[in-house]
């Protein structure tokens, strides 16, 4: 194929990719522009405002009576950090058991685990709420901590499957060498498997952070007090009992709320890709 024809094909393919990319990114650009607009200019067809209102961010930060978004961010990171630690530890421990230990009905229980991947979370929503409410856990963070501590929170079965595939690719000779040195099974898990599965663990941590950060419905279901609200729930307060909705402040705070997700993903992107690729190859 000659050079002009090849260049023409590349131009057409890149042109269509650029057009579709602009179509997909347009809502985000509108969101960014609207975060700096006034209410009067919100219905304007212009993508960006004629006057950039940076005050939307400062005013929105303190718009909720009695609380600022600093308080809601502290609540959110308190919830997410507990969920993150318990989920990584519990899922890695269960995955190590499936990948390295032998116990009765091992294949059966692993098949049950795989079946739960296809089970919608809405199926268990009502019985879970009834159970947690009977235990007095509603309006606390326990409905998030305890299921993740038992490897049953959001994404638990997927995390276990990912880690099992990764651990199975690690040579068993390492286990035998550790046993000869007097290391217990828990010692093998903690001292050998945990360091070697770092890429997969980082992948699990990223997924866990993003999914729980975006879990608006779960937070809305179990948290009732404004003092315990997360950032997502705090955004809902802008539309509660407001005669004139401050769209600029709402969109500004919504824009700020996604910044941690972008930071976490881009800072750990290399580990994220390594974990997915290594799990796929070794599985």
The more confidently predicted of residues 282 and 17 is: 17
Locate the domains of the chain by residue range.
Answer: 3-60, 67-282
- pLDDT (0 to 100) of residue 12: 67
Question: Distance between CA atoms of 35 and 211, rounded to whole angstroms?
Answer: 24
Cα angle for residues 173, 176, 180 (degrees, 5° grid): 140
Domain 67-282 matching CATH 3.30.1330.100: the answer reads no
Q: How does pLDDT run across 150-192, given as a tens digit for each residue?
A: 887 888 899 999 999 899 988 988 888 888 888 898 999 999 9
- pLDDT (0 to 100) of residue 278: 54
Question: Distance between CA atoms of 85 and 87, rounded to whole angstroms?
Answer: 6
Q: How does pLDDT run across 242-264, given as a tens digit for each residue?
A: 567 888 899 999 999 999 988 88
Report pTM.
0.84
In degrees and rounded to multiples of 5, residue 65 shows phi and psi of -60, 135
Q: Which two tokens stand for residue 98?
A: 């499936």
Average pLDDT, the chain: 86
- pLDDT (0 to 100) of residue 202: 87
């Amino acid at each position: 194929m000659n050079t002009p024809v090849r260049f023409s094909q590349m131009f057409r393919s890149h042109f269509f990719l650029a057009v579709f990319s602009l179509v997909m990114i347009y809502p985000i650009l509108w969101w960014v522009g609207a975060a700096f607009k006034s209410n009067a200019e919100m219905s304007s067809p212009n993508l960006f405002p004629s006057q950039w209102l940076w005050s939307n961010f400062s005013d929105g930060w303190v718009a909720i009576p009695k609380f600022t978004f600093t308080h809601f961010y502290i609540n959110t990171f308190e919830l997410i950090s507990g969920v993150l630690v318990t989920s990584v530890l519990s899922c890695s421990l269960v995955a190590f058991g499936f990948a390295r230990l032998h116990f009765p009905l091992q294949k059966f229980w692993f098949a049950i685990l795989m079946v739960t991947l296809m089970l919608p979370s809405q199926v268990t929503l009502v019985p879970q709420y009834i159970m947690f409410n009977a235990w007095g856990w509603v309006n606390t963070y326990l409905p998030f901590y305890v299921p993740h501590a038992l490897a049953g929170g959001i994404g638990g079965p997927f995390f276990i499957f990912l880690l099992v595939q990764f651990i199975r690719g690690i040579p068993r000779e390492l286990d035998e060498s550790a046993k000869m040195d007097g290391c217990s099974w828990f010692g093998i898990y903690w001292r050998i498997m945990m360091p070697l599965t770092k890429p997969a663990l980082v992948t699990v941590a990223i997924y866990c952070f993003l999914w729980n950060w975006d879990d608006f419905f779960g937070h809305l279901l179990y948290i009732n007090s404004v003092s315990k609200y997360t950032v997502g729930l705090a955004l809902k307060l802008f539309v509660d009992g407001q005669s004139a909705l401050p769209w600029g402040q709402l969109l500004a705070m919504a824009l700020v709320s996604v910044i941690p997700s972008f930071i976490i993903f881009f800072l750990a992107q290399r580990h994220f890709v390594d974990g997915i690729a290594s799990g796929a190859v070794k599985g």
